[in-house]
Amino acid sequence: MTLADTRSRARILSFVLLLIASTLVVALSPGRADASANDIRLKVSNTDPALISGLRAALPDATVSQVVASANRTGTACSAPVVNRAASFCWNPGDSTVEYWMPQGITTSSDAYAGGTVDGKKVMITSWYDTGSSGIDRGVRLSFVDLTNASTPAYRHILLAEPYWSGSQPNFRRVAAHAGGLVWYGDKLYVNDTYDGMRVFDMDDLVKVTTGDATKIGRQSDGRYMAHDYQYVLPQSARYVPSTTGTEPQLRYSQTSLDRTTSPDSLVVSEYGNPGDGTRIVRFNLNEGGKLIQADADGYARADWSYVTSFRSVQGATAVNGTFYAFRSNGESTKGDLITWRQGEYATINAGALPIGPEDVSYWAQTGFLWGSTEYPGKRYVFATRLSAW
């Protein structure tokens, strides 16, 4: 067999494999997509307001703009291996290779505000969870990124915190969550907690704490508050506790994105699964106050739409004008896929379109970019691809 024959057969085989992969996911027939949606529920559980007030009284207030302006790290220029690349950067060398912090969710000021900026700044927020492999589990941190220079942006990490009463004193501890998805909507930040629904944080509750000891968190015996040497803390203001009724299986809140092209705006929740049989995409409508709509007198927010897609290894999904865009990971050595899909149609799998290890996805409406990031140490990119090209 000649080299040309070998290459020809390889091309044919690749085409066949891609065709097979593309038809593994069969679009369901049109119908009442929300038939099971009402069985998927969230119920709000608010943090004691006196606890939040106590922390704010004990600590200096901070704003998103102040955190962004205090950036103490700088990203590096890099070219992410993503098809239809529009922009990309890498974290500084320490964050690019650290093994106990793993990047996950992503959201931006385009999600937060219709104008796309905060005090004139384009801002990105990403989440990282601590694996605990360093001997300390710090929970979840956020990176506040100033995208004024999108190739070498300045950024700062802050720590999420779960408030609690320590006797009569307000205190806080780490947030134990995977943080696989983020949505910043107005003054609210939604953080995914997998089988435990979503946690909610109010950006107006940002506070500044004492630095100097990376081993300590919460209120110390001398009255100071510390957070593993992070200067800013965002305390949790509420939780959305999940449940289901009927025969609907429990929803895995793996990722969440914002869709501003629906009326009203909606949260798009997607499930991770491998092999992925039965995985769903679900919508919860939002009201203008940034809270999930409480549709019933019993206090439950019920999903407004759900669909079984059975997509494998989806790490993030969003929707724009009825088309869904999902990022799929293929492990630590194979590039990721970008899946496009509309209800009632077959999905298109763009194999290898994304870097290795893609995670959450967020749409920046003002630029038409889909932003994402990758998680594996030494292979970390933050990147944008042009939505119009898909």
Span 291-320, mean pLDDT?
Answer: 91
Q: 96-120, pLDDT tens digit by residue?
A: 999 999 999 999 999 999 999 999 9
Q: What is the predicted pLDDT for the residue at 215? A: 97
The mean-pLDDT minimum among 145-154, 296-305, 309-318, 337-346 falls in 296-305
| Nearest residue to 59 via CA among 203, 200, 223 | 223
Which pLDDT score is estimated for 293?
82
Q: Give CA–CA dist 167/364, Å, rounded.
A: 44
Q: What's the pLDDT score for residue 35?
A: 56
If pLDDT is split at 50, 70 and 90, which confidence band does 292 have? confident
**What value does the mean pLDDT take over residues 367-389?**
98
d(CA 183, CA 175): 17
What percent of the chain stands above pLDDT 90? 87
Average pLDDT over residues 266-280: 96
For residue 261, CA distances in Å to 107, 183, 186 come to 16, 15, 16
Tell me which architecture the domain covering 40-389 has in CATH.
5 Propeller (2.115)
316 alpha carbon, distance to own chain's centre: 7
Domain boundaries, the chain: 40-389
pLDDT grade for 177, boundaries at 50, 70 and 90: very high
- Of 55-59, 166-170, 198-202, 295-299, the poorest mean pLDDT is in 295-299
pLDDT in tens, 3-14: 344 333 333 333
**Rounded Cα gap, residues 60 and 296, in angstroms:** 38
Whether residue 51 is predicted with pLDDT greater than 90 in this model: the reply is yes
- Decide if 120 contacts 197 (C-beta within 8 A): no
Residue 138's pLDDT is: 98
The residue behind tokens 């102040």 is 66
User: pLDDT (tens digit, 9 = 90+) per residue, 203-220?
Assistant: 999 999 999 999 999 999
pLDDT in tens, 228-246: 999 999 999 999 999 999 9
- Kindly state the average pLDDT of the residues 361-379: 98
pLDDT tens digits, 17-35? 333 343 333 332 332 344 5
Q: Which long-range contacts (CB under 8 A, 24 or more apart) does 28-34 make?
A: 28/307, 28/308, 28/344, 29/344, 30/343, 30/344, 33/305, 33/306, 33/307, 33/343, 34/303, 34/304, 34/305, 34/306
